[in-house]
Amino acid sequence: MSINVRPYWFDGPQYCAWSRDIFLDMRTGGLSGVHATIAYHENFRETVDRIVEWNRLFALHGDLIARARRPADLEASVASGKVAVILGAQNPSVIEADLGLVEALSDLGLSFMQITYNNQSLLGAGWQESEDSGLTRFGREVVREMNRVGMAIDLSHAGERTAVETIEASKRPVTVSHANPRWFRDTARNASDRVIAALRAHDGLLGLSLYPHHVKDGSDCSIADFAAMVARLAEQIGVARIGLGSDLCQGRPDAAVAWMRDGRWTFTTAANPNGPPVFPRPLSWFASNRDFPAIAEALAAVGFAEGEVAGIMGGNWRRFLEAALTPGRT
């Protein structure tokens, strides 16, 4: 099958060194929308600063990108030919210990938030903690509030118990926005069969990561092996619950890895199964936003129908976002 029509391609998340060149790459790569990470360990005030920075980007590059908070914004961006940008945080540090900041940040344009980032948070346990005590009392309040205001719940860095309890507590579909099945690469950072089963049971979405530490054979993973993994996963979770969450960090220096891993919570480099705090060599077939068409071709080559390819490339995200981001739909 030849991929000639790109009805709706979406990637989430990315943490690129945002620039006009990268926005042009998004257009060249066929993206309709992207979930952009704006915070890892930032507090509320610092997150507001990141939103202000994005406001400037929207003003400077309004011919290429558009702010999107709600499903209607996404549709308007697609109609205008611009790439819709949805803002997200990979850590609940952005709400500090104040439930009211969920709505405040939603009003300012934050549409995704993770329950935890690697470590124990006030909401739940990260995948690198030795003990996972599950979703906390505060976590359950935050889940209810995120459901109420229409903010997507992300579990990409959560421990297994925390992830499953959050999926079950939420009245809306939940995403693991950037991970792969653990059977594809055996790391606790990837989604276990138990988490995948919970996502399927509650109509969630697994966004597949293209970050080398999350794929078979690391930086040497072939596009054929990746596509074969997607085909097997479709039998496990259903093709309608699969999207892309590349975790692309195009243009970022290695110093960004240290910030992601260490933040302010340690005075030394944190132990990490992925080794030194540097970016791995990118996949030969995916190093920039220009490379999305090759993925669509590879999915077609392993037998996905045209409509299924369109779903994995973004249509499934479109459906998920409609359910997750519309206020009051609980």
Task: Give the tens place of pLDDT for each residue, 302-311.
Answer: 999 999 999 9
**Which segments of 151-216 does DSSP mark as H helices, in order?**
160-169, 193-201
Question: Which residue has 């961006």 as its token pair?
Answer: 77
Q: Which long-range contacts link 169-173 to residues 24+ away (Cβ below 8 Å)?
A: 169/135, 169/140, 169/143, 170/143, 170/146, 170/202, 171/144, 171/147, 171/330, 172/147, 172/323, 172/324, 172/329, 172/330, 173/202, 173/203, 173/204, 173/205, 173/320, 173/323, 173/324
pLDDT tens string, the chain, 330 residues long: the values are 334 445 799 999 999 999 999 999 999 999 999 999 999 999 999 999 999 999 999 999 999 999 999 989 988 998 999 999 999 999 999 999 999 999 999 999 999 999 999 999 999 999 999 999 999 999 999 999 999 999 999 999 999 999 999 999 999 999 999 999 999 999 999 999 999 999 999 999 999 999 999 999 999 999 999 999 999 999 999 999 999 999 999 999 999 999 999 999 999 988 899 999 999 999 999 999 999 999 999 999 999 999 999 999 999 999 999 999 998 866
Give the type of residue at 232: R
Contact of 204 with 173, CB cutoff 8 Å: yes
Pick from 214, 254, 225: nearest CA to 127: 214
Model pLDDT, residue 328: 80
Was domain 10-325 assigned CATH 3.20.20.140?
Answer: yes
Residue 118's Cβ-side half-sphere holds a number of Cα atoms within 13 Å equal to 13
Q: Please enumerate in sequence order all residues whose Cβ is within 8 A of that of 303, keeping only pairs 6 or more positions apart, or say none.
A: 231
Length of the chain as a residue count: 330
- What 8-state DSSP symbol labels residue 104? H
Domain boundaries, the chain: 10-325
